[in-house]
Amino acid sequence: MSLHNIRLEVMQLLERKIDSFMEEFLIPVEKIWQPTDLLPNSNNENFLEEVKELREISKDLPYDFWVTLVGDTITEEALPTYESWLMNVEGVNAEEKENGWNKWIRHWTGEENRHGDVLNKYLYLSGRVNMREIEQTTQHLINDGFDIGTSNDPYKNFVYTSFQELATFVSHNRVALIAKKYGEKKLFKMCNLIAGDEMRHHLAYSEFVNQIFKVDPSEMMLAFQYMMKQKITMPALFLRESGDKIGTAFEAFSDSAQRIGVYTASDYVDILQKLNEKWDIGNINGLTAEAEKARDYLMKLPERMRKISERLIIPEEGHIFKWVEPALIR
């Protein structure tokens, strides 16, 4: 049987468990938080006072924090790209509304959609950013798409989502802690809740991989090695400001995130190590000779990457983004 057909069979096998996955890892609409739960309520008489308080507190947040928060928001708002990409994965039939994987992706998208929504509204109310520049960058990022090197292979895609959901958990959680440090309780709460969503999603996608390891261990190991060899690219890799070329803003955004400790090269290595441990790859049996070599590579990779990450030098001075110029004004 071809690898293509085996992957389809495995996806169909997992599809039978979709309802239980959704019950375990997703939250019904009526029970989950919504953006208006976390923002000043425009129906209240004291709405303007709440907005004024939010704007006053936000003045103390540092420049690199705003760059990171804006970059995170733009990344979240490029959700249409991620949904369309997942709908093209082998075993996901976008034309069949009742297909289990189709159902999972729609509900996952519904949860994710709240993240960009609430962060965008917060940025708008804060008065510390240039919303039109942010909106242009967001539209560019959606227009430009992204290439994460997975093609439509479900195994590679699930490695990517397992890694990326954990990375976004780290990022939003750190942003929340910095906001709390500066006394911004509303932003702390919303980023903390977003981080909680990302952790649930990470647990889901990593469980999909765990299930695949049980039935097709060698091919799953090879897919894991492939993704880590080429390195996990961030969804915002093609980030750019208005008037600039594709991808020209990502490095400066990444530098800002590293300078304030929101997401660093060391975090990348930590996530890889956690995935190795979560999937217990050292104890997986029945591997082909090629998959054994792939496992050896993955087991040694964190230490190698740790040494490289320790040598990285982040510029002390940051790029002045058009998005965040108002944040420089005190």
Full-model pTM? 0.95
Q: Is 168 a catalytic residue?
A: yes
Q: Cα separation of 111 and 129, whole Å?
A: 26
Q: Is 85 a catalytic residue?
A: no
Q: Is 137 a catalytic residue?
A: no
Q: Cα separation of 238 and 245, whole Å?
A: 9
- Alpha carbon 83 to its chain centroid, in Å, reads 13
Catalytic residue of the set 115, 140, 172, 202? 115
What pLDDT is recorded for position 148? 87
Q: Is 49 a catalytic residue?
A: no
Q: Is 107 a catalytic residue?
A: no
Catalytic residue of the set 15, 64, 112, 207? 112
What pLDDT is recorded for position 303? 96
What pLDDT is recorded for position 105? 95
User: 33: closest CA among 262, 191, 205?
Assistant: 191
Catalytic residue of the set 72, 77, 198, 216? 198
Spatial contact of 212 and 155, defined as CB atoms under 8 Å apart: yes
What pLDDT is recorded for position 229? 95
Catalytic residue of the set 64, 72, 76, 267? 76
**What are residue 261's phi and psi, to 5 degrees?**
75, 25
Catalytic residue of the set 137, 138, 150, 168? 168
The per-residue pLDDT for range 186-216, each reduced to its tens digit, is: 999 999 999 999 999 999 999 999 999 999 9
Q: Is 202 a catalytic residue?
A: no
Tokens matching residue 139: 């539209």
Low-confidence residues of the chain, pLDDT below 70? 1-4, 94, 97, 327, 329-330
**What are residue 182's phi and psi, to 5 degrees?**
-90, 5
What pLDDT is recorded for position 242? 94
Kindly list the structural domains of the chain, giving each domain's residue range(s) and its CATH number in brackets, ordered by start.
3-33+47-328 (1.10.620.20)
Tokens 């390195």 — which residue? 231
Catalytic residue of the set 72, 153, 197, 241? 197
Burial of 232 (0-12, 13-18, 19+ CB in 10 A): middle
Q: Is 198 a catalytic residue?
A: yes
Catalytic residue of the set 72, 165, 184, 267? 165
